Amino acid sequence: MTPKEILWANADTLEQATQAAFEAFQTYKHSSHFIRAELLAAMAVGISQRRHELVQRMITEAGKPHLLANGEIDRAIQTFKLSAIETLRWGGHTLPVDIDPNGRSYGEALVRWVPRGPVLAISPFNFPLNLGVHKVAPALAVGATVLLKPPPQAAGCAFILHEIYEDAIGQIRDRELGETIPKAAFQVLQASPEVIGKAVEDPRFGVLSFTGSDKVGWQLQAKATRKKVILELGGNAAVIVHRDADLQRAAARCAYGAYAYAGQVCISVQRILVDQQVMKEFSAQLIGEIKKLKVGDPADPATLVGPMIDSNAANRVMSWVDEAVHAGAKMIQGGERQGNLVHPILLTHVPLNEKVVTEEVFGPVAVLQSYDKMGEAIQEVNRSRFGLQAGVFSNDHTLIQKVIRQLDVGGIIINDVPTYRADVAPYGGMKESGIGREGPRSAMEAYCEPQTILTSTSRELL
């Protein structure tokens, strides 16, 4: 299978897939927790068995460095395993109804989770496997069917995942476990924005889960009427380096967080806020760490910074840097470019209204800023219209607690960069970074709605 062999759906193909997902949902929503957990566990094994193929696909399609592609495979396996575990303990809860005199004949209420309907999942190129898995695995876990629309730049991993799914349901059928899984419970469909837009508006889908740019995400939300919407959008993540931090470690982690995968991660370090008392020492250490980074061929296991996804992306990043320099910024590291390969760029003295500060660069660019008091750093982090994640380097635990309470972001990483996602934990942003949370348990809850059951019983003694 090559990208050229991946068929693009038209309106008729989309209608067929949507109706198949809707019809399969009527059956799959009644499947047992056992069979769903078996399916998810089998898919985890299938990913492991096709690791090499998936890694190569990420390298060739997305330019993802070998090291990071391997790590993504590990995470995708873990996400399926976590979802299988959650499936086995996925249930409801009871509430006392007799707290009200009118409810004394009912005793307790049973509240159970019911899937909202088929899930329409749209994923981006930068994590071509695991970001799709974070939508597919929780959907299958709760008994929801799912239609995945992969990124056009790197669709191969999604189609391989579908092959793994078909193998898994075949294994379950052959084991004669007493249940079969409808083939259309998981489908992958490549389509243009115009075609997939019809699915966004289609009431047969109960959920839209989108990861991508904030501009596109909010446009889709406006169209996604009568359905639950989860948006995992972008950010311009900041990290605070306080005067008492381990500066060497902070510099090494900031270099990694800003430039791994050419900064094409929504929680890449973009703004580095440094206590002015240690700015000179820290900036020297940071430049030293940046120079250690291996830049080049993504197939080289030592490479951390590979090419950007395409020339348009590279051109945009360089134009934003040029604009900042023209406005007075200083480039103190990097700037070289060979085709789509942009070497790590570090800027300082950047006017605060420049795009490299206010927007999501999504490229190998970081901005150094200084602050006098921690309150100034917090204010600068919160000034952004985004609020995905932030990092704080400090050993003052009292100060850290104050910072935690004041940062307007969805995730805070203490003594590390924000470029980390714990796949088991709720993940998502505040403000224009999105709505809702992912992570197996969080996504499972988002894909469902509560149903309350009351049974009238006599309280008289027999």
For residue 457, name the pLDDT band (cuts at 50, 70, 90).
Answer: confident
| pLDDT surpasses 90 at 295 | yes
For residue 1, name the pLDDT band (cuts at 50, 70, 90).
Answer: very low
| pLDDT surpasses 80 at 131 | yes
Closest CA to 362 of 240, 267, 431, 293: 267
For residue 5, name the pLDDT band (cuts at 50, 70, 90).
Answer: low
User: Could you give the 3-state DSSP secondary structure of residue 103?
Assistant: helix
Among this protein's residues, is 157 annotated catalytic?
no
Q: In what order do the strands lie in the sheet with 345-348?
A: 330-333, 345-348, 365-371, 271-275, 238-241, 389-393, 411-414
Q: Would you state the pLDDT for residue 461?
A: 44
The span from the CA of 380 to the CA of 238, in Å, is 9
| pLDDT surpasses 90 at 2 | no
Exactly one of 157, 254, 266, 448 is catalytic; name it.
Answer: 266
Continuous H helices in 89-206: 130-142, 156-174, 193-201
Half-sphere exposure at residue 106, Cβ-oriented, CA atoms within 13 angstroms: 17
Prediction pTM value? 0.95
Rounded to 5°, the CA angle 37-38-43 comes to: 100
Give tens-digit pLDDT for 360-408.
999 999 999 999 999 999 999 999 999 999 999 999 999 999 999 999 9
What is the distance, to the nearest Å, from the Cα of residue 74 to the centroid of all Cα atoms in its chain? 15
Average pLDDT value for the chain: 96
Q: Would you state the pLDDT for residue 458?
A: 66
- C-beta of residue 29 within 8 angstroms of C-beta of residue 115: yes
| pLDDT surpasses 50 at 158 | yes
Helix (H) or strand (E) run with residue 110 in it: strand 108-115
Exactly one of 72, 232, 360, 445 is catalytic; name it.
Answer: 232
For residue 83, name the pLDDT band (cuts at 50, 70, 90).
Answer: very high
The span from the CA of 234 to the CA of 432, in Å, is 8
For residue 107, name the pLDDT band (cuts at 50, 70, 90).
Answer: confident
Give tens-digit pLDDT for 435-446.
999 999 999 999
Q: Would you state the pLDDT for residue 114?
A: 97
Q: Would you state the pLDDT for residue 271?
A: 98
Q: Mean pLDDT throughout 63-88?
A: 98
Q: Would you state the pLDDT for residue 6?
A: 74
Q: Would you state the pLDDT for residue 7?
A: 75
The CATH number that domain 3-233+433-454 falls under is 3.40.605.10
Q: Mean pLDDT throughout 49-66?
A: 98
Q: Mean pLDDT throughout 36-42?
A: 98
Give tens-digit pLDDT for 313-354.
999 999 999 999 999 999 999 989 999 999 999 999 999 999
Q: What percent of the chain has pLDDT over 90?
A: 94
The domains of the chain are located at: 3-233+433-454, 238-414
Q: Would you state the pLDDT for residue 420?
A: 96
Write down the CATH superfamily of domain 238-414.
Aldehyde Dehydrogenase; Chain A, domain 2 (3.40.309.10)
Half-sphere exposure at residue 437, Cβ-oriented, CA atoms within 13 angstroms: 18
Closest CA to 399 of 379, 366, 375, 382: 375
Q: Would you state the pLDDT for residue 462?
A: 43
Q: Would you state the pLDDT for residue 3?
A: 45
Residue 279 CB partners (closer than 8 Å, separation 6+): 368, 370
The span from the CA of 436 to the CA of 98, in Å, is 33
**CA–CA distances in Å: residue 69 to residues 59, 157, 228:** 7, 11, 31
Beta bridge partners of 366: 346
Other C-beta atoms within 10 Å of 193: how many? 13
Among this protein's residues, is 232 annotated catalytic?
yes
Q: Mean pLDDT throughout 163-190?
A: 96
